[in-house]
């Protein structure tokens, strides 16, 4: 790739590129003399070429950004591969080069890192919540591949924050908020304190510029007083360490504006009171020296006993180790002392990033964290737990608890130490000890006193879990747990038992409904065909889907109804109903099932004589359409649902009759005539009235069933007042079956 890069460049630029490569490499080597110069040179040239036409919002060449990111990485003592990937980190996002180009030029390891950083990018159109959840998820997954991806991403974010001024205000606010919500807590969790502090202070500056300025100026103002107090402790301590021949550095703790601001907010206290809490850090060579120095400090000043913490014996879950003690000076000043080795200090400041310094001497090649690493275990669990969380709100809520909360330390009855987030309950503790213990937990003895499952634990307590084999988790437990492990275990349990219950319910539904169907053959014989018909791969799964309602039972019964109708279609019975529009009876033949519901489709309203077809509908019996109906065409291909139906030619026929009524005209005559007809059950199809010199000729076209009915109608008509003659004008006129 290097040759390709060079050949693509005009000769005049090549010499200036050579110059800038060497200037950059010199700076890197000053920070870390062990870096692989050739690799850095190649990566620099590649990035220079890829970004050559781009400028940043500030107007400077784009390359300034990857250079700055690479320098941040070098300062953290990261290996050459990571520094090279830092130089290349924006190539895939902003230039025509692809992952394969980087792989061909630099190999798979660097390609993976650059690709990983690129993938963390999220899109603007989503809501802030969704975007944060997505960013976070992507970070977790990228970290699982190689933790250095996230270290590069942090360096990228850090440099972007340092140069945020050129973006529009809303974007600045968005980036600063995301930094405080996600990047800083994650950096903290990975033990990268230095990065975390700088991210927080920069974001704080952008989000609350006024408050930021106030705190900075007050720190500057109080500097002299502060240094005076620190010296009251530091000077005698240094002198004593010298006489004891202990090699150690004593420094005032660096200040972090955002953490001071947070403490003021949280404790609702003024600046002075927060900043009274001074601290000194003592860094030495060995763990033995740490304890030795602790003894010296306690001999010089009086310790506040409950403030002593031994994070060397029991490291925090992000790997942090140190001795903390708070002492009271002769003039009543209170100061915290942190005692640690140089290695502990490095890990305290750079967290997982420090592993590449201590575990890779030459600063090159493949790097792996050890399996027992705290941060890595936490990360693996996190990736496992996040699978259960699909809702972005819940996802963020869940991880904020795991990221932000301070830790508490509690003990098992055997004296094993368990660390939990602040606010953790008895239930969290039970799950932390063992999942089975959690699932059957009914409470605990906390320092000998019985407490319920939702009791919040305090640091230093000894907790003995009380359990009962018959106890089972409930959905309410999700509210009682704080830790991802417990939450995930409860969810998994609820899910698996929920499934079992659905299967049982589905089985019950199928059994009762099939009984009503009176199947000719056993259900088992139908199972393979039924599963295929419904597109389900096992009977158990079918029960589950019916139990949850995802497959309506109607689809199963319909399958059998169709089968049954098909089996018995040879025997003929009449199914009929009265058409609501015309009052006419229409009869069709469908099969031998007298329970079968038949209805005529309203879309085409078939009448006897029309060519018809039936469809098995869901829950509404058989629907009869005209074969030329457009709705019928929709089902035409569905063999399972189509059923042959015929007009019942053996059913009672109806006949058309014309009656002529002669009468002398009077009011209400017509009404009296039609009343007689309808009372007798005849259907009036047509009626005409002729009036001539007080004489009336009424003609009716009616439908009748038989001769007897006609005779009765005529007799009743003749009795109407004023009617002089009733006669049939034509003989029986059969309603044509063929239309």
Active site residues: 93-94
- CB count in 10 Å sphere of residue 300: 14
Residue 93: CB minimum distance to Mn ion, A: 8
- Give me Rg for the CA atoms of the chain: 44
Chain centroid to Cα 468, Å, comes to 34
Nearer to Mn ion, 90 or 480 (CB): 90
Residue 51: CB minimum distance to Mn ion, A: 10
Determine the Cα–Cα distance for residues 419 and 196; give it in Å rounded to an integer: 22
Residue 178: CB minimum distance to Mn ion, A: 15
CA angle 421, 423, 433 (to 5 degrees): 55
Binding pattern for the stretch 487-516 against Mn ion, x by CB under 5 A and - elsewhere: ------------------------------
Q: What is the DSSP code string of 184-196?
A: HHHHHHTT-HHHH
Residue 66: CB minimum distance to Mn ion, A: 7
Q: Which of residues 71-130 bind Mn ion (CB under 5 A)?
A: 90
Nearer to Mn ion, 116 or 506 (CB): 116
Structure tokens at 470: 């018959």
Cβ 408 vs Cβ 455: under 8 Å: no
Q: What is the DSSP code string of 675-723?
A: HHHHHTTPEEEEEEEEEETTEEEEEEEEEES-HHHHHHHHHHHHTSTTE
Nearer to Mn ion, 90 or 451 (CB): 90
Asked whether position 198 contacts Mn ion by CB under 5 A, the answer is no
Determine the Cα–Cα distance for residues 251 and 348; give it in Å rounded to an integer: 15
In angstroms, what CA-CA distances link 675 with 453, 491, 670, 713, 717? 81, 73, 9, 11, 10
Nearer to Mn ion, 178 or 610 (CB): 178
Determine the Cα–Cα distance for residues 496 and 502; give it in Å rounded to an integer: 10
Task: Give helix 64-75 / helix 11-31 axis angle, nearest 10°.
Answer: 20
Nearer to Mn ion, 106 or 398 (CB): 106
Nearer to Mn ion, 172 or 531 (CB): 172
Nearer to Mn ion, 56 or 226 (CB): 56
Determine the Cα–Cα distance for residues 8 and 52; give it in Å rounded to an integer: 11
Residue 23: CB minimum distance to Mn ion, A: 21
Nearer to Mn ion, 117 or 354 (CB): 117
Residue 90: CB minimum distance to Mn ion, A: 4
Nearer to Mn ion, 156 or 349 (CB): 156
Q: Could you tell me how many residues of this chain bind Mn ion (CB under 5 A)?
A: 2
Nearer to Mn ion, 90 or 428 (CB): 90
Rounding to the nearest 10 degrees, give the CA dihedral for residues 580, 584, 590, 595. 50
Residue 176: CB minimum distance to Mn ion, A: 16
Residue 124: CB minimum distance to Mn ion, A: 16
Determine the Cα–Cα distance for residues 567 and 558; give it in Å rounded to an integer: 14
Residue 97: CB minimum distance to Mn ion, A: 15
- 700 phi and psi angles, rounded to 5 deg: -125, 140
Residue tagged 């077809």 (tokens): 613
Cβ 409 vs Cβ 459: under 8 Å: yes
Residue 110: CB minimum distance to Mn ion, A: 16
- Using the contact rule CB under 5 A, the part of the chain among 15-23, 148-156, 616-624, 672-680 near Mn ion is 148-156
Determine the Cα–Cα distance for residues 92 and 160; give it in Å rounded to an integer: 17
Among residues 596, 579, 632, 569, the alpha carbon closest in space to that of 624 is found at 632
Helix spans in 477-582 (H): 477-480, 484-517, 523-534, 539-548, 553-567
What is the number of H-type helices and E-type strands within the chain? 32, 23
Binding pattern for the stretch 627-656 against Mn ion, x by CB under 5 A and - elsewhere: ------------------------------
Single out the residue of 101, 109, 146, 156 in contact with Mn ion (rule: CB under 5 A): 156
Determine the Cα–Cα distance for residues 687 and 698; give it in Å rounded to an integer: 7
Q: What is the DSSP code string of 63-107?
A: THHHHHHHHHHHHTT--HHHHHHHHHTTHHHHSS--HHHHHHHH-
Helix spans in 553-659 (H): 553-567, 630-635
Q: Which of residues 228-247 bind Mn ion (CB under 5 A)?
A: none
Task: Give helix 108-119 / helix 128-145 axis angle, nearest 10°.
Answer: 170
- Using the contact rule CB under 5 A, the part of the chain among 155-163, 402-410, 642-650, 721-729 near Mn ion is 155-163
Structure tokens at 295: 């003894």
Residue 256: CB minimum distance to Mn ion, A: 25
Nearer to Mn ion, 121 or 644 (CB): 121
Nearest residue to Mn ion, by Cβ distance, number only: 156
Residues that bind Mn ion (CB under 5 A): 90, 156
């Amino acid at each position: 790739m290097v040759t390709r890069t060079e050949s693509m460049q005009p000769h005049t630029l090549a010499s200036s590129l050579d110059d800038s490569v060497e200037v950059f490499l010199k700076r890197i080597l000053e920070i870390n003399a062990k870096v692989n110069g050739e690799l850095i040179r190649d990566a620099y040239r590649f990035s220079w070429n890829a970004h050559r036409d781009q400028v940043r919002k500030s107007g400077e060449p784009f390359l300034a950004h990857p250079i700055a990111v690479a320098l941040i990485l070098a300062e953290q003592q990261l290996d050459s591969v990571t520094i090279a990937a830092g130089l290349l980190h924006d190539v895939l996002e902003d230039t025509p080069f692809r992952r394969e180009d980087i792989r061909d030029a630099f190999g798979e390891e660097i390609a993976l890192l650059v690709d990983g950083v690129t993938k963390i990018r999220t899109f603007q159109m989503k809501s802030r919540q969704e975007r944060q959840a997505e960013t976070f998820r992507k970070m977790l997954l990228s970290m699982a591949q190689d933790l250095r991806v996230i270290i590069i991403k942090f360096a990228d974010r850090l440099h972007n924050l340092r140069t945020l001024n050129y973006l529009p205000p809303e974007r600045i606010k968005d980036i600063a908020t995301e930094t405080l919500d996600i990047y800083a807590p994650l950096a903290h969790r990975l033990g990268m304190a230095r990065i975390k502090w700088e991210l927080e202070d920069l974001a704080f500056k952008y989000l609350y510029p006024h408050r930021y300025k106030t705190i900075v100026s007050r720190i500057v103002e109080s500097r002299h007083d502060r240094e005076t107090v620190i010296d009251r402790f530091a000077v005698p301590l240094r002198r004593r360490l010298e006489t004891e021949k202990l090699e150690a550095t004593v420094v005032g703790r660096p200040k972090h504006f955002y953490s001071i601001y947070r403490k003021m907010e949280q404790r609702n206290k003024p600046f002075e009171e927060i900043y009274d809490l001074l601290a000194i850090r003592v860094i030495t060579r060995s763990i033995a020296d740490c304890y030795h120095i602790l003894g010296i400090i306690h001999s010089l000043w009086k310790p506040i006993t409950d403030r002593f913490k031994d994070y060397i014996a029991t490291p925090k879950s992000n790997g942090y180790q140190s001795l903390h003690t708070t002492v009271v000076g002769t003039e009543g000043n209170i100061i915290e002392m942190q005692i640690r080795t140089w290695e502990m200090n490095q890990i305290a400041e750079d967290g997982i990033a420090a592993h590449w310094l201590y575990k890779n001497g030459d600063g090159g090649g493949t790097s792996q964290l050890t399996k027992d690493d705290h941060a890595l275990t936490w990360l693996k669990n996190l990736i496992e737990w996040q699978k259960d969380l699909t809702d972005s709100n819940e996802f963020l809520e869940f991880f904020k608890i795991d990221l932000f909360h301070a830790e508490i330390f509690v003990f098992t009855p055997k004296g094993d130490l368990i660390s939990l987030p602040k606010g953790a309950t008895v239930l969290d503790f039970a799950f932390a000890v063992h999942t089975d213990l959690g699932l059957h937990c009914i409470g605990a003895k906390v320092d000998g006193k019985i407490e319920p499952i939702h009791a919040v634990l305090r640091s230093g307590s000894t907790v003995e879990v009380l359990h009962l084999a018959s106890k089972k988790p409930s959905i309410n437990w999700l509210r009682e747990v704080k830790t991802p492990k417990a939450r995930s275990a409860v969810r998994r349990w609820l899910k698996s038992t929920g499934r079992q219950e659905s299967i049982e319910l589905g089985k019950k539904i199928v059994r009762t409904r099939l009984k009503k169907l009176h199947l000719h053959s056993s259900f088992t014989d139908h199972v393979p065909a039924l599963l295929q018909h419904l597109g389900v791969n096992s009977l158990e799964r079918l029960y589950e889907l019916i139990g949850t309602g995802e497959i309506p039972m109607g689809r199963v019964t319909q399958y059998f109804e169709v089968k049954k109708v098909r089996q018995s279609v040879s025997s003929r019975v009449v199914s009929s109903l009265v058409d609501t529009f015309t009052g006419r009876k229409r009869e069709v033949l469908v099969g031998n099932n007298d329970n079968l519901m038949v209805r005529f489709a309203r879309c085409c309203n078939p009448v006897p004589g029309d060519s018809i077809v039936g469809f098995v509908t869901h829950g509404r019996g058989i629907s009869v359409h005209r074969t030329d109906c457009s709705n019928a065409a929709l089902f035409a291909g569905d063999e399972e649902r189509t059923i042959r139906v015929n007009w019942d030619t053996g059913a009672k026929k109806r006949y058309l009759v014309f009656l002529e009524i002669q009468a002398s005209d009077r009011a209400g005559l017509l009404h009296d005539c039609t009343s007689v007809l309808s009372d007798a059950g005849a259907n009036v199809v047509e009626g005409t009235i002729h009036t001539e010199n007080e004489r009336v000729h009424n003609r009716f076209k009616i439908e009748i069933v038989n001769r007897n009915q006609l005779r009765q109608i005529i007799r009743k008509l003749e009795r109407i007042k004023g009617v002089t003659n009733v006669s049939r004008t034509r003989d029986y006129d059969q309603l044509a079956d063929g239309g």
